[in-house]
Amino acid sequence: MGVITFNAKDFVKGISTSDDLSDAGFSNRSRGQNLLANVGTINAKPAITTKTSNTVANEAIIAQSNSSNPQSFDSFFVSDGEDFFSTQFGSEPIIKQSTVDTVGIGRTDMKVYKEAVYISTLTNVTKISSADVSTIVPTWWTGTASPAGSALAGDVHPMLVFDTKLFVANSTQLDYTDGTGVTEDLLPLNEEEAISALGIYEPTGDMLVAVDSGSLDSNDDAVYPGNAKILIWDGFSAVRNREVRVPERITTFFNSGGVTYVVMGRTFGYFNGNGIVALRKLNIDFSVNSVITSQKITELDDTIYIAEGDDVLAFGKLYPNGNRVFYYPYTTVGNQISTIRAYYNDPATDEPYVAITYLNGTNPTFAYFSTRNDAGGGDAWYSNIVYLPSNSKIRKVEVLTEPLTSGDTLNLEMLKTSTDGTTGIGTMDYSTDGAIAQKTLARDKNIETAAVQVAATQSSGSVRIKQIKVHYDAIEKPI
């Protein structure tokens, strides 16, 4: 009898590239497993708190920023209806301003700089200031700044705080403000060098300016072979220090742990000073709603979180000396995530939270979850596919979990290669089994298959899975 075991050694490796490429611990079809909640087991997704009061129907939240004044506010965000909100932990959002200049998802960025909030709009920069964010100048960039700047051009306007200045991408210009006036065209660019992202290269402290010649509205958004480059600049010279050509548009840079991570087209990787080292292909397209801008990536407790469609993709270490791994701690199941940010200031428990925003039907939603929690139930977890040397019969499946508690129901299925689908092998259910922590399934199922893949779904509750063992016998000659 052969035995295949799935346990902690697999779980801590995170998701594989695909079912058929077992380069990590379990299938990339798995969603809603917060591995940080109890390292070494398969866990459910976090419970989530949603806030929808005071938002405006059909107005998607498109930009979010942490506050620099946590005594008064914990976060700010802006909707595509040009409303500006503040939040305090545990409270509903409040509209503080409703005259932000015209904004757009994938184009607008938001930064807190020198105790004021700056929002890059389609053609301008809105400034919101004073301790209670009660003063707004919708077209501050072109109208009130002294000296004022010209209207912003191009498609996207990422911002970056660098060398005590707030830099703003303005198509083929790189401009900045010191909070009083605007200085334009600091780094000369040519007509095919429209800025798509701004960042900082950690090893040298230089600014990174990603450019290409494409338009975000074109049919092949983000893919411009031969035109995309990373310009490396020290922040004060009259010319760039050097440039590095890359195969696709860079949509964001993100620094974590001394490494400068990059999203290039659909590739997540890191910049090594000479090019991009790819780590993973993201499950996104090139629409303005889907591309990963600086609004769709954040970090909390040394783990990077990316808003990948309707899923939150995590990339980080599960324990101090471990490797960074990928996994999906949360999914909205169909509601595309617009923004993601670290969210602090829970006065009761000091928990680390991740805040996301999305449009649930017509309801704009601000929501957050604890990175240590797994009480929200779960979607399906799939093991990697293990191909057997011959067609085999499954004799039994032994499942170990933490003891079930009231409300827990775990359904298990197995791949059946003759139909290329799954068949049920049994359930662990507190209402009928009690507080068990072990159960043997599939003894009477007579499952014949040439490969093994187990699927486990938290029908209710949040069972933690410790180990699954599949016992099988070969029933024909090896293939």
Written as six digits, the tokens of 412 are 């298990």
Written as six digits, the tokens of 15 are 């998701």
- Alpha carbon distance 179, 355 (integer Å): 28
At residue 132, the pLDDT reads 87
At residue 226, the pLDDT reads 56
At residue 220, the pLDDT reads 45
In 282-408 the beta strands, taken as DSSP E runs, fall at: 297-300, 303-308, 311-317, 324-331, 337-343, 353-360, 363-370, 381-382, 386-401
- Alpha carbon distance 423, 439 (integer Å): 18
At residue 479, the pLDDT reads 54
Q: What is the mean pLDDT of residues 435-462?
A: 94
More confident residue, 154 or 327: 327
Q: Are strands 448-452 and 165-170 parallel, antiparallel or unpaired?
A: unpaired
pLDDT band at 85 (very low <50, low <70, confident <90, very high): very high
pLDDT band at 89 (very low <50, low <70, confident <90, very high): confident
CB of 15 closer than 8 Å to CB of 24: yes
At residue 20, the pLDDT reads 86
pLDDT band at 131 (very low <50, low <70, confident <90, very high): confident
Tell me whether residue 272 is exposed, middle or buried, using C-beta atoms within 10 angstroms of its C-beta: 0 to 12, 13 to 18, 19 or more. Answer: middle
In 54-108 the beta strands, taken as DSSP E runs, fall at: 61-66, 75-79, 84-87, 94-97
How do residues 326-369 score in pLDDT, each as one tens digit? 999 999 998 999 999 998 877 777 788 999 999 999 999 999 99
At residue 81, the pLDDT reads 94
Looking at 107-116, 176-185, 401-410, 469-478, which range is the least confident one? 469-478
At residue 288, the pLDDT reads 87
At residue 214, the pLDDT reads 66
Residue 434, pLDDT > 60, answer: yes
Domain 2-30+37-44+380-474 classified CATH 1.10.20? no
Amino acid at the residue 261:
Y
Q: Are strands 250-256 and 267-271 parallel, antiparallel or unpaired?
A: unpaired
- Alpha carbon distance 197, 297 (integer Å): 13
How do residues 208-262 score in pLDDT, each as one tens digit? 999 998 665 544 444 444 589 999 999 989 899 999 999 999 999 999 999 999 9
- Ranges of each domain in the chain: 2-30+37-44+380-474, 48-370
> Of the candidates 254, 376, 361, which has an alpha carbon nearest to the alpha carbon of residue 316?
254
At residue 223, the pLDDT reads 45
pTM of the full structure: 0.95
CATH class of 48-370: mainly beta
At residue 71, the pLDDT reads 62
Residue 69, pLDDT > 80, answer: no
Per-residue exposure over 330-367, b if at least 16 CB sit within 10 Å of its own CB, e if not = bbbeebbbbbbbbbbbeeeeeebbbbbbbbeeeebbbb
DSSP class per residue in 268-291: EEEE-SSSEEEEEE-S--SSTTTS
Amino acid at the residue 366:
F
Residue 478, pLDDT > 70, answer: no
Q: Cα 316 vs. chain centroid, distance in angstroms?
A: 12
Give the percent of the chain with pLDDT over 70.
96
At residue 232, the pLDDT reads 97
Q: Characterise 265 by phi-psi region: left (phi > 0), alpha (psi -120 to 50), beta (else).
A: left
- Alpha carbon distance 244, 261 (integer Å): 15
How do residues 136-153 score in pLDDT, each as one tens digit? 999 999 999 999 999 999
Map residue 433 onto helix, strand or coil: helix
At residue 44, the pLDDT reads 95
Amino acid at the residue 27:
S
> Of the candidates 244, 273, 255, which has an alpha carbon nearest to the alpha carbon of residue 200?
255
Angle made by CA atoms 7, 10, 15, in degrees to the nearest 5: 135
Written as six digits, the tokens of 353 are 């939270």
How do residues 161-186 score in pLDDT, each as one tens digit? 999 999 999 999 999 999 999 999 99
Helix (H) or strand (E) holding 140: helix 140-143
How do residues 1-53 score in pLDDT, each as one tens digit? 899 999 999 999 999 999 889 899 999 999 999 999 999 999 999 999 999 99
pLDDT band at 466 (very low <50, low <70, confident <90, very high): very high
User: Given CA atoms 76, 79, 85, 91 in this order, what sign does their dihedral have?
Assistant: negative
pLDDT band at 67 (very low <50, low <70, confident <90, very high): confident
Mean confidence (pLDDT) of the chain: 92
